[in-house]
Structure 1
Amino acid sequence: MRTPLRLTAICRLAVCFTFACGAIPAFAASFDCAKAGTGIEHAICNTPALNELDGRIDNYYVRAMADLPVGQASALRTEQRAWLKKRNACANNSGDLKACLEPIMKARSTALEDIHHRAASDFDAAVSLIPDSPVNAADKLRQYQTPLASAWLVYLNHFVPTSGVTAQEAHKYHQMALEGLRDDDFAYSVMKDIDSDPKESADRKVLTLLRMNIERVDYQYDDDDDRPYVHCFIFKAHGDVAYTAFGGMYGSSRDGSAPVCKPQDVIFDNPAWTTLDNAFSDVLAKVSQDAGTIQYASYADWRIFDLHVTVAPEDYLTMTKKPGKNESPVAEIQNWKDEKIWPKAQRERALAAIEPARKATAEWLQNDLGWTAENGLKGADNIVNQWLADRMMFIDGSGWTGE
């Protein structure tokens, strides 16, 4: 799959977060080794293999608990306590402590990983019922007491009243979903500000609460073998307010993982678009070095744009010109003066890639979506121009200075 230019640019920055560049996180012991007090704890801290296993066990346990219904979560908690007693019984083993601990811990790690995957799959299946069977979805989600399930129930009350989720329930679930953010002071304060702002619509508040809880769960944008996003139906259902709620919001590097879903079609995987994307990569990486963390919001919004084009391309048949720009993005590229920022050879490569991308988009709209030739050309022109305009606003600084 094409790596989004957003991620390409992020990964070229001097500071690169592992989640943005696809690095696999290392696991460490679940407790502070400086405070290890028992022989078991010292063995775990002093043995790399056991240290990693302990981290994996804790990771899968926490993730499973976050996705299990109340009854199953309670049972797993009891099971985990019993397992800890079994593990700690290795202290009575007169032989090699590592030899006793390692097979027990490996087996538990494997078991918890399986529980986690099954729990995540069951929870996602419940969410997937929302578009066609909201009553059944609500019944299943009520079995959970997790922040994300609570946020979905708030969503159902607000957007799908036929789901049967009452206002009284929604109030309770709203508090639970909000409390789930409390261990992240920044996210919690942002959500509180949005919640209390009378200028914000109720739709935006509900969707932002949902977004903030989704991004705390281990959904993956780029890894097709991992847990897929299941909330993508909301973009077709709610349009602009959903794109806003799930796009750039924090003004910091955490916008780099905005949970906006993959594009719903392959147009941006087309070789012509890949060429255009690559033609801008060098200048965007260069500008990003001085843009500050707030620019992660731009990368998030570019992902939103890709998604929007594939979910509702008809929105790009009619477009309003953005204020503050007196020339087209193509003319701005042609008239660019600062060779240090953007050398002529790079600009010419970008200009040469524009028309093939426009042609590929028109063909997609006509051949795949059944548009007329006239509408296909108009839609393609607007889509490409908007894509270019967004990047030119980033390159010239007007998108982040307000000029």
Structure 2
Amino acid sequence: MGQLDLTGPSIRLTLPPHGRMALAGAALALSVMVAGGTARAQPSFDCKAASTPVEKAICADPKLADADSEIADAYKTLQALSGTADRERLRAEQKAWLAQRNQCATAGSSVATCLGPVLDARRTALAESVPKAVTALAAIVDGIAADPAGAGKRLAEIRGGLGKGWTAYALRFGPSPDRAKADALLREAVEGIEDPYSRETASGVDLTTDEGFLTALRVVSDDVEMAWPCSVMERRGAAAWKAMEPLYGSNRDNFGAHPACPDDNALLASPAWTAVDDLLAPMLEAASNRTGTIRFASYRQMAIDRMKSAVDPRLFLADAPELAALVKDAAGWSNPRWIAPGWGERLRAAVDGAVAAWTPQIAGRYSIGTAEARRIAEAVAAQGLGGSMGLIADNLELQKDTRLPDWLRGSWSWTGSAEDTPFGGPAGKARIDATGICVGSECGGYDVAGQGEDAPFDPKEVKAAGVSPAPNAAKQAVSLAPVSAGFSLTMVPLTGGNVLVTGTAKPLLLKREGK
């Protein structure tokens, strides 16, 4: 409760502490890669100017340099999140710690040996303090509605971007709105975002609209993964929920600010919706495996929709797709690789069952009539179904039969190896069926991605392998795409019933062992 759970088709993704900062650190590490190795870790100061034994020891040891850099970053973050009294306390603590650190210059052991635990302890203490400071800031924000003047005074003491951003929020939505001042202050906060991509994203929104204003504030909040109080989501409504939707179309959407709202009673996580989820799960997992990091945007949208369905399902009425049309489209999927007989009818029944279960709950919650409650229930179902269908339809063939052909099914053996394929061992046996390839107990799903003209192979490559293609090989050859990440394979039928696997570094001969 209160944490945004990004749930993929078959995995549950949790947000690690300071995920965006960790991501930024990884990007920085990648940026200093050089040919033949990596650049030495850089501490928070210029090693060319290092003069004391402690500074020189830190510069000489990459682990110590990393720790020093992380301490400086966390200290800077805490300074930006703290009010006046906490900043003074933090400065005093840091000054005392620096004195302790510098005593390592006269330690009986080596300077580096002394510094290790001293830096580690400070790094841990500061890292643990950052989320506490973010939580304290969120508590101030939560009190804006009850005591705008008091909250505004406390926010004004916080000099970093979040202090400016939430002060701007109080100015825009408080009892005496000053939109011009609020917009100017939020622009200052946006200009202070260090990550250029995030800064560009926030700079591109229209601050004159509530949605744009809150989106910019969300980006300012992303760096420390601030949990927005649910009071903000409830008071700002649709604009706040829109601001929390995916922005980046990448794994950046796996991190960042999120609503701190209870989702215990989420309609889209209720037992009534489980039957729908179960019918979509195999396709959703396969589609997720086939897409890149953009899947995290889909996961975030699904997570936001789940939480919104707990807080205020009425919000779905504004822009949900038409449920009947979605169900009709899904019921028209026909690829037997994924769709069993009667699947469409079961989906329709599962969706109808969820809507029927939710309708009286919604009617009682808002004291409204059955017809209006059903409209809300249908809108929630449409959004939940549409999110899953979009990811599936974008990544799977749903109309054409993509099962592996009969001539390829059976038992096979090989010698040699083809890396990054099921046939990676130097020799072995495989079983191929309608949906995949098994080697021992390891099975991988495959679909036919192309056949005949859509699965071309080089006759010279076949000839070089010392084999002959079957007379109808040009029409029968198939290109197989793995359900999970991996390379496509082209399977060429040969005279005598064997198969040549191409699309690998070296063609591999599969010998038929039996049907």
Worse-matched range after superposition: 331-340 or 367-376: 367-376
Worse-matched range after superposition: 78-87 or 27-36: 27-36
Instruction: Confirm or deny: 8 A CA contact 1:263 1:306 kept in the other structure.
Output: no
**Separation (CA, whole Å) in 1 of partners of 2:138 and 2:5:** 28
Q: Name the residue aligned to 1:129.
A: 143
Greater fraction of residues in strand: 2
Instruction: Confirm or deny: 8 A CA contact 2:145 2:174 kept in the other structure.
Output: no
**1:330 counterpart = 2:323:** no
**Separation (CA, whole Å) in 1 of partners of 2:377 and 2:166:** 36
Instruction: Confirm or deny: 8 A CA contact 1:273 1:357 kept in the other structure.
Output: yes
**1:380 counterpart = 2:377:** yes
- CA shift for structure 1 position 145: 0.7
The verdict on how the C-alpha distance between 1:374 and 1:66 changes in structure 2, with shifts beyond 3 A counting, is: same
* Aligned pair partner of 1:343 in 326, 339, 342: 339
- CA shift for structure 1 position 134: 1.4
Q: Name the residue aligned to 1:225.
A: none
Q: Name the residue aligned to 1:90.
A: 104
- CA shift for structure 1 position 101: 3.4
SS at match of 2:169: helix
- CA shift for structure 1 position 187: 1.6
Instruction: Confirm or deny: 8 A CA contact 2:44 2:69 kept in the other structure.
Output: no
SS at match of 1:248: coil
**1:302 counterpart = 2:314:** no
**Separation (CA, whole Å) in 2 of partners of 1:351 and 1:261:** 32
- The Cα offsets for residues 102-148 of structure 1, whole Å up to 9 and x where unpaired, read as 55445534543565455334322211111222121111100111101
Please list, as runs of the form range in 1=range in 2, the aligned pairs for 1:173-184 lying within 5 A after superposition: 173-181=185-193, 183-184=194-195
Amino acid at match of 2:186: H
Please list, as runs of the form range in 1=range in 2, the aligned pairs for 1:45-194 lying within 5 A after superposition: 57-58=71-72, 60-70=74-84, 72-77=86-91, 79-97=93-111, 100-102=114-116, 104-105=118-119, 107-109=121-123, 111-113=125-127, 115-116=129-130, 118-162=132-176, 169-170=181-182, 173-181=185-193, 183-194=194-205
The verdict on how the C-alpha distance between 1:34 and 1:347 changes in structure 2, with shifts beyond 3 A counting, is: farther
**Separation (CA, whole Å) in 2 of partners of 1:332 and 1:2:** 35
**Separation (CA, whole Å) in 1 of partners of 2:21 and 2:208:** 38
Instruction: Confirm or deny: 8 A CA contact 2:6 2:14 kept in the other structure.
Output: no
The verdict on how the C-alpha distance between 1:274 and 1:98 changes in structure 2, with shifts beyond 3 A counting, is: farther
The verdict on how the C-alpha distance between 1:39 and 1:356 changes in structure 2, with shifts beyond 3 A counting, is: farther
Instruction: Confirm or deny: 8 A CA contact 2:225 2:258 kept in the other structure.
Output: no
**Separation (CA, whole Å) in 1 of partners of 2:313 and 2:15:** 33
**Separation (CA, whole Å) in 1 of partners of 2:252 and 2:57:** 36
**Separation (CA, whole Å) in 2 of partners of 1:243 and 1:290:** 28
**Separation (CA, whole Å) in 2 of partners of 1:146 and 1:386:** 37
Amino acid at match of 1:300: R
Greater fraction of residues in helix: 1
- Which consecutive unaligned segments of at least 5 residues does structure 1 have? 220-228, 399-403
**Separation (CA, whole Å) in 1 of partners of 2:373 and 2:164:** 42
**Separation (CA, whole Å) in 2 of partners of 1:10 and 1:215:** 26
SS at match of 2:228: coil
Aligned residues between the structures: 374
- CA shift for structure 1 position 33: 12
Q: Name the residue aligned to 1:230.
A: 228
**Separation (CA, whole Å) in 2 of partners of 1:274 and 1:179:** 44
Q: Name the residue aligned to 2:259.
A: 261
- The Cα offsets for residues 232-273 of structure 1, whole Å up to 9 and x where unpaired, read as 323322233222222122333323335342554423343333
Amino acid at match of 1:253: N
Instruction: Confirm or deny: 8 A CA contact 2:43 2:65 kept in the other structure.
Output: no
The verdict on how the C-alpha distance between 1:40 and 1:343 changes in structure 2, with shifts beyond 3 A counting, is: farther
SS at match of 1:148: helix
Q: Name the residue aligned to 2:288.
A: 288
Amino acid at match of 2:199: Y
TM-score (norm 1): 0.73
Q: Which has the higher contact order (CA 8 A, sep 6+)?
A: 1
**1:250 counterpart = 2:248:** yes
Instruction: Confirm or deny: 8 A CA contact 1:246 1:258 kept in the other structure.
Output: no
Instruction: Confirm or deny: 8 A CA contact 1:270 1:360 kept in the other structure.
Output: no
Q: Kindly name which structure, 1 or 2, has the bigger radius of gyration based on alpha carbons.
A: 2
The verdict on how the C-alpha distance between 1:158 and 1:33 changes in structure 2, with shifts beyond 3 A counting, is: closer
**Separation (CA, whole Å) in 2 of partners of 1:4 and 1:278:** 22
Instruction: Confirm or deny: 8 A CA contact 1:279 1:346 kept in the other structure.
Output: no
SS at match of 2:205: helix
Amino acid at match of 1:287: A
Amino acid at match of 2:191: E
Q: Name the residue aligned to 2:218.
A: 211
TM-score (norm 2): 0.59
SS at match of 1:230: strand
SS at match of 1:101: helix
**Separation (CA, whole Å) in 2 of partners of 1:106 and 1:291:** 39
Amino acid at match of 2:126: L
- CA shift for structure 1 position 73: 2.4
SS at match of 1:189: helix
**Separation (CA, whole Å) in 1 of partners of 2:223 and 2:260:** 18
Aligned-residue RMSD, C-alpha:
4.4
Worse-matched range after superposition: 385-394 or 52-61: 52-61
Instruction: Confirm or deny: 8 A CA contact 1:4 1:303 kept in the other structure.
Output: yes
Instruction: Confirm or deny: 8 A CA contact 1:134 1:160 kept in the other structure.
Output: yes
Amino acid at match of 1:344: A
